[in-house]
C-alpha cells in the first residue's frame, strides 16, 4: 500500500534546466528509503517538492489521500506532517537543547509538551545535554537535536537531505544506526538522501539511485550490488576491472583469485595498505586492474596469474 506517492514529477529551472524528469516513487507507511546520487542529480529539488516547499513543473505528490500543494497553491508553504532536514539546518542558538526540541510544540497542551520532549530526549539519548546551547554540542549531537525537533510534532514523513555530511565517519555511522532504530520504532516514513552509498546501505535495505533527475535503479541493496543496471550503479559500490577485448564487460576485484595457472597474467604495479587487505594495482593486458590481497603476500614487480568465473562478469549495454 503506497502512502507517500510521487507521480511523474518534473522540475525545470528557468524553463530549461531539467533537475527532475518524470520521476515516480512510492513508499509504504513507515518505509525507509535511501536515495543515492551525485551532486546535481536532483535530490534536493525532489525533497523540497515533496515537502511542498518548491513548485514543480509537472507531476503530483500525495500523502495518503492528501494532495501536497506547492507554494503557489498554498498560503503558508510546507506541511507539519512532512519535515525536511538538511545539513545547514539551524537550531535556535540561544535556546537550550530542551527548548529547541519543545519549540514546535508551543501551541500544544503543557503536559503533552513536557512528555513529548522527555520522550525525544530519552530516545535520542540527549538527556545529559538538555541544558546545553547548540554551540556546546558536537556536530552529530546538533543534528540529533535537529531531528528530535523535527520529530516533536509527530510528522508522518521525514526527509533527510545529506544531514550528516559534515560529520566524521565514525560519528556518522553510529548516528545512522541509532536513527534507523528510532525511525522504525516511531513508524515514520523516511527518505534519506546521500551521495555515500555506504551510508545509504546502513540506513536501509531499500535503495534508489538517481542520476540526472531520473531513477536509474531501485531495489534491495543486494539486487543493486549483484545486478547493477548500469556501469554507473556498479561503480557506486567500488572498483571495476575491464575485461580485455570484451566491450562493456567488467569484474569486481573481490571476484578475482590469484592463482599460478590463472587465465590472465598480470604484473603488480603498486600496493596500498588498507584496513582488511592490500589493494594492488596490476597491469593486465592494456588495462590497470585493482586486486585485493588479503594475505598481504604479493610484492611490487611480481608477475601473478589471475583467475575468475565468467559468471561474475558484469556486462552493460553500450
Ligand X SMILES: Nc1ncnc2c1ncn2[C@@H]1O[C@H](COP(=O)(O)OP(=O)(O)OP(=O)(O)O)[C@@H](O)[C@H]1O
Is residue 13 within the footprint of ligand X (CB under 6 A)?
yes
Is residue 39 within the footprint of ligand X (CB under 6 A)?
yes
Local structure of residue 37 (DSSP, 8 states): -
Supply the minimum distance, in Å, between the C-beta of residue 78 and ligand X.
17
Query: Total residues at the site for ligand X (CB under 6 A)?
Result: 11
Is residue 37 within the footprint of ligand X (CB under 6 A)?
yes
Q: Which of residues 102-141 bind ligand X (CB under 6 A)?
A: none
Q: What sign results for the dihedral spanned by CA atoms 262, 271, 286, 301?
A: negative
Supply the minimum distance, in Å, between the C-beta of residue 312 and ligand X.
31
Looking at beta carbons only, is 17 or 245 nearer to ligand X? Answer: 17
Looking at beta carbons only, is 19 or 314 nearer to ligand X? Answer: 19
How far apart (Å, rounded) are the C-alpha atoms in residues 199 and 222?
A: 15
Identify the residue among 34, 45, 142, 241 touching ligand X (CB under 6 A): 45
The answer to whether the beta carbons of residues 34 and 206 sit under 8 Å apart is yes
Lay out the sheet containing 287-293: strands in order across: 257-258, 303-307, 264-273, 278-284, 287-293
Supply the minimum distance, in Å, between the C-beta of residue 192 and ligand X.
13
Is residue 19 within the footprint of ligand X (CB under 6 A)?
yes
- DSSP 3-state assignment of 1? coil
Identify the residue among 31, 42, 163, 228 touching ligand X (CB under 6 A): 42
Is residue 28 within the footprint of ligand X (CB under 6 A)?
no
- What residues have CB less than 8 Å from 113, skipping those under 6 apart? 102, 105, 106
Strand partners for 35: 193, 208
Looking at beta carbons only, is 194 or 241 nearer to ligand X? Answer: 194
Is residue 189 within the footprint of ligand X (CB under 6 A)?
no
- What residues have CB less than 8 Å from 149, skipping those under 6 apart? 91, 100, 101, 103, 104
Cell digits for 30?
513507515
Is residue 16 within the footprint of ligand X (CB under 6 A)?
no
Is residue 217 within the footprint of ligand X (CB under 6 A)?
no
**Contacting positions for ligand X (CB under 6 A):** 13, 17, 19, 37, 39-45
Amino acid at each position: 500500500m503506497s502512502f507517500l506517492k510521487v507521480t511523474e514529477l518534473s522540475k525545470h529551472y528557468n524553463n530549461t534546466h531539467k533537475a527532475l524528469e518524470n520521476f515516480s516513487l512510492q513508499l509504504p507507511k513507515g518505509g525507509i528509503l535511501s536515495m543515492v546520487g551525485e551532486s546535481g542529480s536532483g535530490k534536493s529539488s525532489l525533497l523540497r517538492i515533496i515537502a511542498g516547499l518548491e513548485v514543480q513543473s509537472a507531476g503530483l505528490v500525495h500523502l495518503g489521500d492528501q494532495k501536497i500543494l506547492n507554494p503557489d497553491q498554498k498560503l503558508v508553504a510546507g506541511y507539519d506532517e512532512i519535515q525536511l532536514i538538511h545539513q545547514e539546518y539551524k537550531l535556535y542558538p540561544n535556546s537550550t537543547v530542551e527548548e529547541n526540541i519543545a519549540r514546535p510544540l508551543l501551541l500544544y497542551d503543557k503536559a503533552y509538551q513536557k512528555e513529548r520532549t522527555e520522550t525525544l530526549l530519552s530516545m535520542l539519548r540527549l538527556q545529559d545535554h538538555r541544558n546545553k546551547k547548540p554551540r556546546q554540542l558536537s556536530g552529530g549531537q546538533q543534528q540529533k537535536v535537529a531531528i528530535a525537533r523535527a520529530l516533536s510534532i509527530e510528522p508522518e514523513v521525514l526527509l533527510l537531505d545529506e544531514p550528516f555530511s559534515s560529520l566524521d565517519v565514525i560519528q556518522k555511522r553510529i548516528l545512522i544506526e541509532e536513527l534507523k532504530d528510532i525511525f522504525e520504532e516511531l513508524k515514520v516514513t523516511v527518505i534519506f538522501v546521500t551521495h555515500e552509498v555506504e551510508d545509504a546501505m546502513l540506513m536501509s535495505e531499500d535503495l534508489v539511485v538517481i542520476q540526472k533527475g531520473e531513477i536509474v535503479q531501485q531495489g534491495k541493496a543486494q539486487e543493486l550490488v549483484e545486478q547493477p543496471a548500469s556501469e554507473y550503479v556498479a561503480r557506486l559500490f567500488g572498483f571495476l576491472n575491464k575485461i580485455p577485448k570484451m566491450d562493456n564487460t567488467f569484474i569486481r576485484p573481490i571476484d578475482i583469485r590469484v592463482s599460478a595457472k590463472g587465465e590472465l597474467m598480470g604484473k603488480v604495479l603498486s600496493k596500498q595498505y588498507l584496513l582488511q587487505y592490500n589493494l594492488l594495482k596490476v597491469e593486465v593486458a592494456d588495462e590497470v586492474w585493482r586486486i585485493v590481497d588479503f594475505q598481504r603476500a604479493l610484492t611490487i614487480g611480481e608477475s601473478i596469474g589471475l583467475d575468475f568465473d565468467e559468471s561474475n562478469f558484469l556486462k552493460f549495454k553500450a
